Amino acid sequence: MTELQKAKKVRIQKFLSALGVASRRAVEEMVMEGRISVNGRTRTKLPVLVHGGVDEIRLDGMVVDTRSPDKVYYLLNKPAGVVCTRQDPAGRRRAIDLIGDAPSGVHCVGRLDMDSTGLIVLTNDGELTQRLTHPRHGIPKTYVVEISGRLDEKQMATLKAPAYLDGRKTAGLKVRALRRRRDRSVLEITLREGRNREIRRLLARLGHKVLRLKRTAVGSITDRGVKVGNHRMLKRAEVAALLKNASAPGEEGSSPAPVPLRKRKSVGRSAGRNRGIPGGRTTARAGGGRNAPGRSKRRRGRKK
């Protein structure tokens, strides 16, 4: 193989993700499970480098079409009882089944519980999938949640504060009460993470069972005009907005990294006056502070 061919080799998870086969993390798992072969050789360890258009890649024995497909983007309002998975051994209805004309490689971006309803993006754009699902990008998702019981102010504050799930610290939730009654409450919750059943688990800790959960927005895209069970194509501007919201740290659309602050020594009122710090009065004479030698001697003299 020539040096030019070597230079074009890329990691298999990036290559197959760009084709819409699966997310990078899913491809890595496929390799470790021995489901992928390259040029007839089963690979079970990473890294795996491939040359697009030259190497033959098989997934579960089937040749992967390495021709780049046209990228498509769908917004689905998922009904309850539908699963967001590529394959389901139980034979349940999948989100992709609701989009009959979807080309091969289209998959759900992230997940939404089977019992939950609301918006889910489906695409064969592996790069968009990577950007929207990677924890560091933190694209906001908004939910309307109906729970049992009344959520008081103390519990609201608990939800907003960071907590630990599976040994990792969460970023906290943005919570707004839409309706609060003795037996039921309705909340609007926004989060920037994709932890497994995060909202349900945090509310369960406070003794509240989730009765209904609906995702109403992904970034700036809302469910307006998309009925439950229906879908539509995303517009170019909407795809661009998703990418902007999911910009990596340091890129446009991202929050700047926090600047570490150095501790400042506390400055007393007298020191502030003597040093001319704004907000304090300066002394008329230099050396007229409380600890000046002459002043302490005069005080001792008066005491005698």
We report the CATH number of the domain holding residue 91 as: 3.30.70.580
pTM of the entire predicted model = 0.65
What's the pLDDT at 135?
Answer: 66
In a domain, 78, yes or no: yes
Residues 80 and 184 in one domain: no
In a domain, 214, yes or no: yes
> Residue 218 pLDDT > 90, yes or no?
yes
Residues 228 and 88 in one domain: yes
Decide which of 202, 228, 249 is a domain's last residue: 249
The band of 260, judged by pLDDT with boundaries at 50, 70 and 90, is very low
The total number of structural domains that make up the chain: 3
DSSP3 helix / strand / coil % (the chain, rounded to 5): 25, 25, 50
Decide which of 43, 63, 83 is a domain's last residue: 63
What's the pLDDT at 89?
Answer: 87
> Residue 56 pLDDT > 90, yes or no?
yes
Grouping H, G, I as helix, E, B as strand and the rest as coil, residue 24 is: helix
> Residue 108 pLDDT > 50, yes or no?
yes
In a domain, 279, yes or no: no
176-213 residue pLDDT tens = 999 999 999 999 999 987 678 899 999 999 999 999 99
Distances (CA, A) of 208 to 54, 119, 156, 159, 176: 56, 24, 12, 12, 16
CATH number for 155? 3.30.70.1560
What's the pLDDT at 272?
Answer: 43
Residues 14 and 119 in one domain: no
In a domain, 15, yes or no: yes
Query: Which residues, other chains included, contact 25 with Cβ-Cβ below 8 Å and sequence gap of 6+?
Result: 13
Average pLDDT over residues 5-18: 80
**Which range of residues forms the domain containing residue 183?**
141-218
Residues 96 and 235 in one domain: yes
Residues 25 and 53 in one domain: yes
In a domain, 270, yes or no: no
> Residue 66 pLDDT > 60, yes or no?
yes
Catalytically annotated residue among 113, 125, 152, 183: 113
Distance in angstroms (rounded) separating the CA atoms of residues 209 and 145: 10
Residues 9 and 29 in one domain: yes
Residues 233 and 213 in one domain: no
Q: Is the dihedral of CA 120, 216, 162, 149 positive or negative?
A: negative
> Residue 256 pLDDT > 70, yes or no?
no
> Residue 53 pLDDT > 90, yes or no?
no
What's the pLDDT at 286?
Answer: 42
> Residue 277 pLDDT > 50, yes or no?
no
Active site residue 152: no
Residues 164 and 187 in one domain: yes
CA-closest candidate to residue 64, choices 44, 50, 78, 82: 50
Residues 123 and 234 in one domain: yes
Q: Which residue has the higher pLDDT, 285 or 89?
A: 89
What's the pLDDT at 252?
Answer: 34
Residues 47 and 94 in one domain: no
In a domain, 232, yes or no: yes
Say how many C-beta atoms besides its own lie within 10 A of residue 28's C-beta. 20
Strands laid side by side in the 41-43 sheet: 41-43, 36-38, 57-59, 62-63
Residues 84 and 127 in one domain: yes
Residues 130 and 39 in one domain: no
Grouping H, G, I as helix, E, B as strand and the rest as coil, residue 44 is: coil
Going by their DSSP bridges, the two strands 117-123 and 210-218 should be labelled as: parallel
What's the pLDDT at 247?
Answer: 60
Decide which of 161, 195, 218 is a domain's last residue: 218
Average pLDDT over residues 86-97: 90
